[in-house]
Structure 1
């Protein structure tokens, strides 16, 4: 696992000289991603840089890596799990000679053999760049699920910069840091900024499953090379039952290759327990497992993690986190570089910190809920979808739209009386309704929060536009698979995988995610929805087939989540700091917010009139971004 960066001069009329000192200075902003080594390649119009965390071929994996004739140069972040098979094919069928044992060198010769389609041959997580000296082209690729990040910007001098982290690009002295108004709406609505956007108007993310092809005097060409396939033909129940565990085990096994210590996260949930079970069945030596506990019982899952650890006799490590552990908030703001609102980033940071004390590579269970329909919101959405399917949209909009506006919000009341959100959702199309269900701050409250100036700049933009876009291109009309697809394209890549990448790389820890193996996903997408969500139980098939491997309590207990007591902090330990930051001159002069709304949200929360934890946390993180990154 590493960090890459580079620069390409798109305008042949401009100075072809690349400033290596500037490139080196910028790249060192992500030195935490690769503390073991650094390397550079600079030639007219092109510069490539690399920071290395040594995992495979510790002695021979220095980057950039070159072809034997020096005409192909590659920098790479990630792991290609089938590199040995590809290496054999490239040797036997094409006669290429390899001088290292690294997966990076496979990219070099895969480019020579297959050109742009080489990316379709790789099984793994990656971003990489290939400079072809003879063709004078630069090819950049990002893995199918977006496990590894890639940011880029084109400057006024014709140079295009790219990097694994946004902070590298922010270090360029000529970057225009104008904030993108639509990204503010997206952040306060969703808690993250969906690709391909960033908080900055002139900086972008290369989307998951896409490549970028660069050539002088031509516009960058961005192309999609992978998407979730159609679910046809569906698997039979027998096929699904017989194959699911073997396919998961295979995805786990190919991620257990490393020349450094390797282990796994173990949260006590279904997915991480499944990964640990498959790891333990694949090797004789004890698996190293790491769990984070909390001194507050409502947030503590360590007893369930311990059950799995005891069953498989793992070398288990637990760290109990103080419920008042808010000391790393400013550190998190720095790590994520743009507004990021997932509160579970705090415990994720701590579990990565713990894991790095014992291993260099850790497997995680991320992706199971998205692939096998495990979120509670999937069940609620399907219940609403049944009602939507019985009534025309025009009728639903006319009837439930007004009801949603008039019905009082009653978060304090029993579930049966909390109809406001349901009425609002029933008045929407399926994609917008799902977006509404996952939103952090309601439309009404965002409207109260935003200044008129920001509303004017938004020009009608709404966070749901991202969901509508993906719904239109989804390769399915199955309502459950549709929302799973929306999760893959938004929540998974921009929240979950972003969280894990930055938290792990802050500690130079490589995290591998076997449940997001693209071959496993292509197979799992053919599981009928009736097998994934059955009798109100999400991940039904997955859990049933896990019964011989994972304790029953772990499989079927209520999902606890990975959270922290932010609400209490804002009423007690961080009470003064909250007002100081949210009502600071920087925030109020930004022109984005209504000061009275912020004051009321603070007062109501601290008096106990309302729980405004989410809005206040979003504002807290946005203020930190303005203070650290936007100046």
Structure 2
């Protein structure tokens, strides 16, 4: 049976239980990672009392206890303590509008046997993934693409437009995937399949026109503290052990400190480090662990095995080159030895304006006053001649990256500094056939998203919208879901609680980025909760030192992959790729972004096609 085969492919997402439902129209299969109500009563697919509504669900509903009480008062009878059952009875009571009452991370499929209607839904932020294929005679959906590919009737074809977009942004923007014909259900959307027709509708978007927002900064800080504390506390509900990832950065440190308020006993923290101090935050992580009295676990990573890269690509299903993917994968494997659930700090950089690209955009207001010929032909050429420096950032590397991004098309807005193609690279890298097959308009989707935003004249909030709705879901959150589920570990992201996110969106942009201080109001809210050394430090991250690895341990692996890839031979200029490799390994230029992106493409294509 296809449904059972698809579920087996996703056994890593749910090793504890499995179940299948079939009737003459629909087959639903599920793999369960037991977290709330560990008994057989929590098994899925789950139904209502008369079996007319059947659901398979992935995620956590953090307000399920309140919804359960409300539904019981309306006469609904529950057979389990599971949050899944709240969705079933909520649908009975409120129909599709039940989605708007859920507070949490979720992707689910619900079959209404009376209306012969299939409902798919994905949470507002896009924390949990959902993919689908709609052919002439079939509709298939799953939490991962590889499960859809179990159906031999789904033809495997490369989506060249997605490949073009990926090479620039380093992820595939929704609703595309790298597989032609397979789509992502966008965050904040639901899909209905009825009478053979598919309709996709948006039920939520991020608005910057909130009500009852404090106009006084001090009052706003206090209210933010309340939102942060409630979000973290609500994410602690679990019938299994939980821990927290602690990088030493502000976001994860905040979660550890707030968890400590509500957990009196042992609290396990997990971090990763490198010998190269410019890539490592171990000292800060140790400081926070001691401050909060945690049981701290450190994973040192200084060598990179090619099989790690290949394993992550298998679980990602499509290329995505976030340089922290492999370290996160290894960290999740370590954490799973101790806990089943981990909290993590994803989302704060987007919602609170923590990335360097927000600062670059503000600096560019001055840089853009120079004549274009000066910016491009003089400063641009001079910056390009500067040799790459070995550290992660440093003044020279920051200057080079700023000038490169500033000289890209301004339609990209602040995302120009997170875009890694340019006209020179495209002309040298792509074959004429590939150029003819794609729309070479890299920022067309950025403009579409920007046009939806209601932030008005607040430039910083408009940039936050682009990060939250365009970038984050298919890059950061996809990475987190896949790397954690590969180890049967659930990651929760309390800083993306949608009520907290909505509150933050309604605040003025200048409260988030004040002059060149990122996360300004967030830092103010954490003053006194964490050591000042942590609260007022800059951003670093724990990305893999790929540029060094491609010049050393992974050089031979890279050369072989890029030379032998059938897809790259057919669509790219291999002589130009060789030139990029030579320049990078000789430290003339840092081409690690495009080379790493091509490496991921080659591994992906080998795994899923060849």
Q: For 1:461-490, what per-residue CA distance to the aligned partner results, in whole angstroms no more than 9, with x for missing partners?
A: 322112111001112121101111111122
CA contact (8 A) 1:125 1:147 kept: yes
- The equivalences for 1:97-176 within 5 A come to 97-156=77-136, 158-176=137-155
Q: 1:42 to 1:147 in 2, by over 3 A?
A: same
Q: What CA distance in whole angstroms lies between the structure 2 residues aligned with 1:298 and 1:397? A: 34
Q: What CA distance in whole angstroms lies between the structure 1 residues aligned with 2:135 and 2:35? A: 34
Q: What CA distance in whole angstroms lies between the structure 2 residues aligned with 1:179 and 1:118? A: 37
* Ranges in structure 1 where 5+ consecutive residues have no aligned partner: 1-20
CA contact (8 A) 1:66 1:74 kept: yes
- Aligned twin of 1:227: 205
| Deviates further, 303-312 or 508-517 | 303-312
Q: What CA distance in whole angstroms lies between the structure 1 residues aligned with 2:405 and 2:605? A: 33
- The equivalences for 1:226-625 within 5 A come to 226-232=204-210, 234-236=213-215, 237-385=217-365, 409-412=384-387, 418=399, 422=403, 425=406, 428-429=409-410, 431-458=411-438, 460-477=439-456, 478-584=458-564, 586-589=566-569, 591-625=570-604
Q: What CA distance in whole angstroms lies between the structure 2 residues aligned with 1:370 and 1:101? A: 34
Q: What CA distance in whole angstroms lies between the structure 2 residues aligned with 1:182 and 1:570? A: 27
Matched, 1:87 2:68: yes
SS in 1 for 2:384: coil
Q: For 1:65-85, what per-residue CA distance to the aligned partner results, in whole angstroms no more than 9, with x for missing partners?
A: 111111110110000000111
Q: 1:426 to 1:453 in 2, by over 3 A?
A: closer
Q: What CA distance in whole angstroms lies between the structure 2 residues aligned with 1:588 and 1:164? A: 28
Matched, 1:29 2:12: no
Q: What CA distance in whole angstroms lies between the structure 2 residues aligned with 1:297 and 1:421? A: 23
Q: 1:398 to 1:611 in 2, by over 3 A?
A: closer
Q: For 1:30-80, what per-residue CA distance to the aligned partner results, in whole angstroms no more than 9, with x for missing partners?
A: 110000011111001111110000000000210011111111101100000
Question: How many Å apart are 1:131 and its aligned residue?
Answer: 0.6
Q: For 1:593-620, what per-residue CA distance to the aligned partner results, in whole angstroms no more than 9, with x for missing partners?
A: 0111111111222233222211111111
Q: What CA distance in whole angstroms lies between the structure 1 residues aligned with 2:84 and 2:367? A: 52
Q: What CA distance in whole angstroms lies between the structure 2 residues aligned with 1:565 and 1:420? A: 17
Question: How many Å apart are 1:260 and its aligned residue?
Answer: 0.2
SS in 2 for 1:281: helix
Q: 1:614 to 1:315 in 2, by over 3 A?
A: same
SS in 2 for 1:27: helix
CA contact (8 A) 1:294 1:323 kept: no
- Aligned twin of 1:183: 162
Q: What CA distance in whole angstroms lies between the structure 1 residues aligned with 2:153 and 2:400? A: 51
CA contact (8 A) 1:57 1:100 kept: yes
Question: How many Å apart are 1:28 and its aligned residue?
Answer: 1.0
TM-score (norm 1): 0.91
SS in 1 for 2:133: strand
SS in 2 for 1:127: strand
TM-score (norm 2): 0.94
* Pairwise CA RMSD: 2.2
Q: What CA distance in whole angstroms lies between the structure 1 residues aligned with 2:585 and 2:406? A: 30
Q: For 1:375-428, what per-residue CA distance to the aligned partner results, in whole angstroms no more than 9, with x for missing partners?
A: 11101112224666x79xxxx779867778766624538659958954873774
CA contact (8 A) 1:90 1:109 kept: yes
1:66 to 44, 47, 72: 47
Q: For 1:536-570, what per-residue CA distance to the aligned partner results, in whole angstroms no more than 9, with x for missing partners?
A: 11001111221211122222223222122222222
Q: 1:96 to 1:397 in 2, by over 3 A?
A: farther
Q: What CA distance in whole angstroms lies between the structure 1 residues aligned with 2:471 and 2:204? A: 18
Question: How many Å apart are 1:146 and its aligned residue?
Answer: 0.4
Q: What CA distance in whole angstroms lies between the structure 2 residues aligned with 1:424 and 1:623? A: 26
Q: For 1:325-373, what per-residue CA distance to the aligned partner results, in whole angstroms no more than 9, with x for missing partners?
A: 5540111111111111112101111111111111101100111111111
CA contact (8 A) 2:273 2:281 kept: yes
Q: What CA distance in whole angstroms lies between the structure 2 residues aligned with 1:232 and 1:65? A: 37
SS in 2 for 1:241: helix
Question: How many Å apart are 1:499 and its aligned residue?
Answer: 0.7
CA contact (8 A) 1:323 1:565 kept: no
CA contact (8 A) 2:565 2:606 kept: no
- Aligned twin of 1:199: 178
Q: 1:585 to 1:558 in 2, by over 3 A?
A: closer
CA contact (8 A) 1:185 1:462 kept: no
Q: What CA distance in whole angstroms lies between the structure 1 residues aligned with 2:296 and 2:72? A: 42
| Deviates further, 237-246 or 182-191 | 237-246
| Deviates further, 237-246 or 162-171 | 237-246
CA contact (8 A) 2:272 2:300 kept: yes
* Ranges in structure 2 where 5+ consecutive residues have no aligned partner: 389-394
| Deviates further, 291-300 or 525-534 | 291-300
CA contact (8 A) 2:243 2:268 kept: yes
Q: What CA distance in whole angstroms lies between the structure 1 residues aligned with 2:249 and 2:344? A: 11
